[in-house]
Structure 1
Amino acid sequence: MSQIVGLLRRNYRGTVSPPVATKSDQALRFGILGAANVAPYAFISPAKSHPEVVIQAVAARDRAKATAYAAKHGIHEVKDSYQAILDDPKIDCVYIPLPNGLHYEWAIKALQAGKHVLVEKPSVSNAKEAELLFNSPLLKEPNSPVILEAFHYRFQPHWQLFLTLLDQPNIESAYTCGFVPSIIFAKDDIRFQFDLAGGAVMDFGAYGISALRQTFGVEPEECIEADFKLMPGTEGKIEHSWTAKWRMANGGTAISEGSLQAKLTQFGAPRVDVTHRQTKVEEEGLPPGQEKWVTRKVVLFNFMVGIIWHRIDIEDSFELREWETGKVVKKWTEKTSRKAYTFKEAGLEGPGEDWWISYRHQLEQFVNRVKGRETRTWVTGEDSIAQMRMVDMAYEKGGLPIRPSRQVVDGK
């Protein structure tokens, strides 16, 4: 019963009614580009409890929509265009939850305006755009703006704990999956529009690919298999489901699969399964002439939004062998489970309350970086470039076109 009460309390405070912090006189003022559905959960709600974040303005292509959005979420101003937000000297930072295909254009414009940028994943449409954005001279100057690709799951205590349980050089295989039922997204959703850099891999699949890269701690050498199930009416360009396999730089195999049009029976918490190569355990006090070996498996259930619920299962399979003959004299398995809703529970240094959702952890680190303070976790520009290279590898291997770049058109 106490676990259920704790779950309800955490989720109510984290997602429904976070405490409203007294705002600092030195708070960063943010503008939101677009009245996106993701923003209330991913940015507006987390901002309420942060004393150094004020949401100053929002703009949308439809001003009436932006006005209603501002009234609903208590945003101070409505601007006539995205560019008007960038031109406002009162605004320090922008949050970009626009469709994928607009990320590059508005991130570049924001940097040109001297604004710090928190951009939803994927940061851009393809690897070429990633290289242009994150290698931009605008980021190389003294006191240049900060930019962060919002892979929010990486900032959670339980994800950071999970990483400490891995022996990355000896990972043999890792598997990620995520299935969204078909009733969630309409067939004409922007996620399925090619010109806006849509596709299941660009949406939910990006998290699984990022998690694979984090798990291995190295990049892929090549995509060795990729299979896509296509959305009708998209001229064979947009996938609703995917399966892809990469060979990683340590020789291990990385696999990701999932769907945005899954059956209800497929739905479950997105997870990461990791298997290590068998390795020798250096341990004193073993019987003479014997050596100890272990094969570790780690499974993380719900790597994306751990505040709701998560569990890390660790299984170590041991063998005791005669070192001269290799004969196995004893075998046994040890199983444990871990959870961590705070960094303290993870045995790590870090800020936060047990009700902080992943986006609140992310916002904390973004503000710290902008303020010139130490950041515990970060997504570097090099990381974001490598992410898009891995995505493009899969599309090329599976015979689908890489998502296109758009022409910069106007200030809306």
Structure 2
Amino acid sequence: MRNVTKKLYMDPPKMLVAGFALIILLGAFLLTLPVATEDGKGLTWLNGLFTSTSATCVTGLVVVDTGSTFTMFGELVILSLIQVGGLGFMTFATFFAFLLGKRISLKERLLLQEALNNISIEGIVRLVRRILIFTLVIELIGAILLAIRFSFDMPLPTAIYYGLFHAISNFNNAGFDLMGDFRSLTEYVEDPLVTLVVSALIILGGIGFIVMNEVYEYRRTKRFSLHTKIVLTASALLVILGTIIIFILEFNNPKTLQPLSISGKVLGSLYQAVTPRTAGSNTLNIPDLRQSTLFLIIFLMFIGASPGSTGGGIKTTTFTTLLGAVWSQIKGKEDVIFFRQRIVYNTIYKALTVTLSGLFIVMAVTMVLTITETGKEFLMILFEAVSAFATVGLSMGLTPELTPIGRVIIILTMFAGRLGPLTFAYAVTLRRNGDPFRYPKGKIMIG
């Protein structure tokens, strides 16, 4: 019985990797069909694999312009991949199980726990039901509001389709758009409705379904868990501080904020602070930003969204835990305290492992890309590597110019980033047995 239980606990990471890989391959095949592209030729296999990976891993990096390259069939394939990739294929499998009246087994509950990054399997099926309802309601409201705005610029049927596409894309933090010419939402930089609606979609998709569920239950419980308190606080601070810093850095930049009105400057700064939370769409032209702003965005991208969300990055809770550990060390305290609660050491070790793993991946990918993408600026390459790892989708323009080897590297980076460094590592590790004994303590000098 013990071996069976161990096998169940070992299986989820491997099954998640296999499930995502199969979805990506299916999407790549569909995008290579002649019916998927306007020229009737379909994408090449490598471009199809890149686009499918980017959509399934809800990244948004594109080697071809989505709006002008694909037919409606191709766009719907991408949209489906975004929805499945954002919520996770296990969420959809559970949804179909609900429809068929099928009971959710223990193994499936363990898979859901791993996919949603939940602490336990208790109430996991109820959480999935809530996730599906939250997603439907939020995307529908976002689609209606965006369709109303887009209807002033295009025929109503097109506006409805555009509203639905961009609502799903941004709630799932994918960043794909249909505006054409790789311009994303730059023509709506001073539009309060588009900016605020899309920003809200990105934030809601990025805080995580566990947090969303606790906020929904607050009227009944009158309390938030420590996780929710940290996520909401960290998310708010990152958006507010990011907006202020970008506003200051870009205020006099003639290529970005300077030509805009004061309200336009605020909206542009806000959106550009929100979108590194792994969304990928933009209202300011990324290559025109100052280097200081680009470096700030790299930092925000690396942090990313929150656990159990549609976004990537090392996550807000990981970053906050490390900050707390550093502050406690500086203050000479043994424990890391948040909201009068102590963070256990295993959580701190995990946060450190995730962060260092992420840094290692980014450094390795950046180093390889400096070899394959000769003649490109280092900041552009670093920006691309972090964007792929954190499944953001922002680019300084390097993605369409990537060499075939560079595209393969970014594909693997997006895949590892979407699953998370630990899940990916667990999946490729043959054994994860704990040590049967403890070694004697040793002392080394630090700092």
What TM-score range do you get, normalising by the shorter chain? under 0.3
TM normalised by structure 1 equals 0.26
**TM-score normalized by structure 2?**
0.24
Instruction: Specify the structure having the higher radius of gyration (Cα).
Output: 1
